[in-house]
Structures are given as structure tokens and as C-alpha cells.
A and B are shown apart, each in its own frame.
Chain A
Amino acid sequence: SAVISQKPSRDICQRGTSLTIQCQVDSQVTMMFWYRQQPGQSLTLIATANQGSEATYESGFVIDKFPISRPNLTFSTLTVSNMSPEDSSIYLCSVDGSHAALYNEQFFGPGTRLTVL
């Protein structure tokens, strides 16, 4: 499985500011995914990021609030814009099982724990 790192691991931010989260993979992968895990809740898919194309957002998530970049096959960023306390959550990136392009066999990074005051 791929080794995935995320930066920062945690942050405390002020309302109205923005935070960019980085996801780095140790091998080339086709698909990268961004999830949100709110306190005591399960994971919810925010968007799918494919290299060289615009990210695809799930219902309830918009590009203006969560812009995503995917400049190459090992890296992606998620920005949480104009933050409010409701954005306090763990943000996780995941990648597909690239050996066989098994998009359903996803491996997760350690997450970024965000607190918005």
C-alpha cells in the first residue's frame, strides 16, 4: 500500500481565515480523494481529484469553499476557505490502490485535525 503524509497534522485557526492542507504520496496514483470526519461522525467524501482535470465535488461541497489542486500524480492540496467553527473537523486524503487502479480500495493518510475558533 502507498505511504501517505499530510501537513499540517493539526491546526487551530481563526474564523474567516483559510487553511491549505497538503497530501503527499510516495508513489504515483491516479485518483486522490478528500474526506471530512466531523467529531463523532463517520467520513464524508468532499471531492475526487484527478491529475490534470478539475476536481469533482460531492453534493453539499463547493469549489469556492474547498478549492483543490492536483498538480501531479503524487500531490494534492485542499483549502478550507473563510472558515467558521462548523468547519472544525478532521480532513483526510486517500488514494486508490494504484497497482490495479482499484478505486474502491482506498488508503488513507493520517488526517489533519482542524479547530476553528
Chain B
Amino acid sequence: QKEVEQDPGPLSVPEGAIVSLNCTYSNSAFQYFMWYRQYSRKGPELLMYTYSSGNKEDGRFTAQVDKSSKYISLFIRDSQPSDSATYLCAMSGDAGGTSYGKLTFGQGTILTVHP
């Protein structure tokens, strides 16, 4: 079993839809949770960064972390064609732990938003 599981999709939605992207994980030491966006032939771009459980909102993007369920989500409201990309979840552990600073990535979800 992989430490981080992410639905690979692909996911295709119409413009304006609400998109939900999800990851589950098995390592209870993970404390930092990130979402990256990767356009074709580009490096990953950090979208959202959260620590421990809770919600974080940034414009049209909302990240949720439920550590009790080992489940994280990224919601995109009013999706746009420019949101079409691969979305990667990533996680790491707390300072002093063996996984601190080492990102473990999900497989990535390919999202297409069509006009």
C-alpha cells in the first residue's frame, strides 16, 4: 500500500463547476499537507500549504485536512479552463521526525476544465 493515495482521474468538468480533489494517507506522522499544480512540461507550483487539521481558503481554492480520517481535499470553485492541469497532493512529517522536509506525493489527478 502506498503511503499516499490519490485518485488519478482524469477528471473533466465544465467551466464554472466546483471541483473536488482528494488524497488519503496512511502515515500518522504527516503534519504538513500541500497541494501542487503542474502544467504540462512545467515544474510543480505550490498552491496551498496547511499544517495539521482544518481548512484554509485562498481565493477560489479551499484546502481541508481531516487528520482523524487521514483524508485531505482541495476544492476549486468557479473552475476555469486555466485550471486545467495535474494536481498533486504532498505531505511530510513534523520537525524531529524522519519524514520532516521529505515530501511524499500522491499520483496526481489530471483535471480538464472545458469552456
Residue ranges of A at the interface with B (Cβ–Cβ < 8 Å): 1, 4, 31, 33, 41-45, 48, 58, 92, 94, 96, 103-111, 113
Contacts and interface: CB of A to CB of B under 8 A. Distances in A.
* Chain A binding surface, main DSSP class: strand
Contacts, number: 58
A109 B108 CA distance: 18
Given A110-B42, A110-B43, A42 B108 contact: yes
B42 A43 contact: no
Interface string B10-53: 00000000000000000000001010100001111110010000
A31 B100 CA distance: 12
Nearest to A31: B101
A101 to B, nearest CB: 10
A43 B105 contact: yes
Nearest to A96: B101
Interface in B48-73: 49
Given A33-B102, A45-B104, 4 more contacts: A42-B88, A103-B92, A105-B34, A109-B43
